[in-house]
Amino acid sequence: MYIQLQVQIYDLGYQSERNKAQLQELTDHRNQLASSILTLKSSSHMGIKLLSEKSQMQFLDNKNIVKLTTPPRVLKTAKSDLTKKQNVQRPEKGLRLLAGALSLHSQAEAGLVR
């Protein structure tokens, strides 16, 4: 009985090590893929590809650029919203700390108050 438990303990330890190694491999592979995606999306890479290949793509000239203007009523609303946000007074630091300390959080949300 004792030997069987020891064998199971070692087996679980080896499984854990294999899982850790596999997790590290997958993490490295994910990071490599993310780096490749970012490289492929970069404007530098696209420009080099565009200029090096004989592709149908071409840079836009000023004739093909459309300029849009924001309607005045939307601009007015955006400015008034910004003004309202700037006029809201913030409570003093001590009151914010006190409110943070006294607020009700579940155990999972509880954290240090700075």
What's the pLDDT score for residue 75? Answer: 80
- Within-domain flag for 93: no
Domain count, the chain: 1
- List the structure tokens of 25: 């491999």
- Within-domain flag for 108: no
What's the pLDDT score for residue 91? Answer: 54
- Within-domain flag for 101: no
- Within-domain flag for 114: no
- Within-domain flag for 35: yes
Q: How far apart are CA 52 and CA 48, in angstroms?
A: 6
pLDDT band at 102 (very low <50, low <70, confident <90, very high): low
Structural domain that includes position 24? 2-88
- List the structure tokens of 88: 């809201």
- Within-domain flag for 81: yes
Q: How far apart are CA 7 and CA 11, in angstroms?
A: 6
- Within-domain flag for 9: yes
**What pLDDT digit, counting tens, does each position of 104-114 carry?**
555 444 455 55
**What pLDDT digit, counting tens, does each position of 41-89 carry?**
887 877 777 777 776 766 677 777 778 888 888 888 877 777 776 666 5
